């Protein structure tokens, strides 16, 4: 009942020619009908990617401003995204948290801004290696959700996808084992049951991210609470992205 999704987070990769030729090639590939494809290019490529994409491919932004408009040099607003047809934004990626200092409060404002503008949110959570080793993985993820997402209403939660991305697995080649991923995903789903109800929990897609690649995706996506992946490195080549789309049982 919930969607299977493979989302590519291109981060600061792909210039215009690379981005557009990727989208044009992807559109022509043979893909499973029941998997939602999503690509998040850099802000400046969004419009070109949108134009090259068909309706089956969601083009998402990697970030969004928490402000409506005004003197915020370098920022991009929800209204600007909507004006080029972008209806999904990744919020709370660990690189935004750690490199750009996005706090729980800022992320809550970004979530509010997106949802108030009918922009779907891909909300990222995940613990650091130190937190996992100190057995604080679950409490970290719980507070990330409680502080920046769980103020939404049940209806607003319909427009949310959650991505669990353990920081120690991002770009490191070290993936969480399928069991570790399943354990955290089931925990996240139980938190949604506690805060909302079973219906909301069953309807919310929870993606795993962190060194997902064609060689490990099948096992990860086979876990009952893993509904797909948020993929960095392995989303940069059409072949491997398409392989990921075919990695669901």
Active site residues: 93, 165
The two tokens of residue 241 are 């992205």
> CB neighbours of 135 closer than 8 A, spacing ≥ 6?
none
Smallest gap, in angstroms, from Cβ of residue 170 to ligand PGA? Answer: 4
Which region, judged by CB under 6 A, interacts with ligand PGA, from 79-87, 109-117, 142-150, 164-172? 164-172
The two tokens of residue 127 are 């613990």
Smallest gap, in angstroms, from Cβ of residue 213 to ligand PGA? Answer: 7
Angle, vertex CA 125, rays to CA 123 and CA 130, nearest 5 = 165
DSSP 3-state of 241: helix
Binding mask 86-125 for ligand PGA (x = CB under 6 A): ----------------------------------------
Name the DSSP letter for residue 237: S
Does 165 help bind ligand PGA (rule: CB under 6 A)?
A: yes
With CB under 6 A as the contact rule, the residue among 81, 121, 200, 230 that binds ligand PGA is 230
Q: Which is nearer to ligand PGA, 184 or 230 (CB)?
A: 230
The CB-side HSE value for 173 (13 A sphere, CA atoms) comes to 0
Nearest-CB residue to ligand PGA?
Answer: 232
Nearest alpha carbon to residue 36 among 1, 6, 2, 60: 6
The two tokens of residue 180 are 């570790």
Q: How far apart are CA 58 and CA 46, in angstroms?
A: 11
Consecutive H or E run containing 209: strand 206-209
Does 231 help bind ligand PGA (rule: CB under 6 A)?
A: yes
Does 171 help bind ligand PGA (rule: CB under 6 A)?
A: yes
Q: Which is nearer to ligand PGA, 210 or 228 (CB)?
A: 210
> CB neighbours of 38 closer than 8 A, spacing ≥ 6?
5, 6, 7, 8, 57, 58, 59, 60, 88, 122
Q: Which is nearer to ligand PGA, 53 or 230 (CB)?
A: 230
Does 209 help bind ligand PGA (rule: CB under 6 A)?
A: yes
Does 8 help bind ligand PGA (rule: CB under 6 A)?
A: no
Q: How far apart are CA 44 and CA 106, in angstroms?
A: 23
Q: Which is nearer to ligand PGA, 92 or 233 (CB)?
A: 233
Q: How far apart are CA 69 and CA 77, in angstroms?
A: 6
Which region, judged by CB under 6 A, interacts with ligand PGA, from 66-74, 110-118, 132-140, 204-212? 204-212
Does 212 help bind ligand PGA (rule: CB under 6 A)?
A: yes
Binding site for ligand PGA (CB under 6 A): 9, 165, 170-171, 209-212, 230-234
């Amino acid at each position: 009942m919930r969607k299977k999704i493979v989302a590519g987070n291109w981060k600061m990769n792909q210039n215009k020619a690379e981005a557009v030729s990727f989208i044009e090639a992807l559109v022509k590939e043979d893909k499973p009908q029941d998997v939602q494809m999503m690509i998040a290019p850099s802000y400046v490529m969004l419009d070109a990617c949108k134009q090259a994409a068909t309706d089956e491919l969601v083009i998402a932004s990697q970030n969004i401003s928490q402000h409506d408009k005004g003197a915020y040099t370098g920022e991009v607003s929800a209204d600007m995204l909507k004006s080029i047809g972008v209806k999904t934004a990744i919020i709370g990626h660990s690189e935004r948290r750690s490199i750009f200092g996005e706090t729980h409060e800022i992320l809550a404002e970004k979530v509010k801004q997106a949802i108030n503008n009918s922009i779907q949110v891909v909300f990222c959570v995940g613990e650091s290696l130190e937190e996992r080793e100190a057995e604080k993985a679950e409490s970290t993820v719980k507070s990330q959700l409680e502080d920046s997402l769980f103020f939404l209403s049940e209806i607003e939660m319909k427009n949310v996808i959650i991505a669990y991305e353990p920081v120690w697995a991002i770009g490191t080649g070290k993936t969480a084992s399928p069991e570790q991923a399943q354990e955290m995903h089931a925990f996240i789903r139980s938190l949604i049951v506690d805060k909302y109800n079973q219906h909301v929990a069953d309807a919310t897609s929870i993606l795993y991210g962190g060194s997902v690649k064609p060689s490990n995706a099948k096992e990860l996506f086979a876990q009952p609470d893993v509904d797909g992946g948020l993929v960095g490195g392995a989303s940069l080549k059409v072949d491997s992205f398409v392989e990921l789309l075919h990695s669901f049982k």
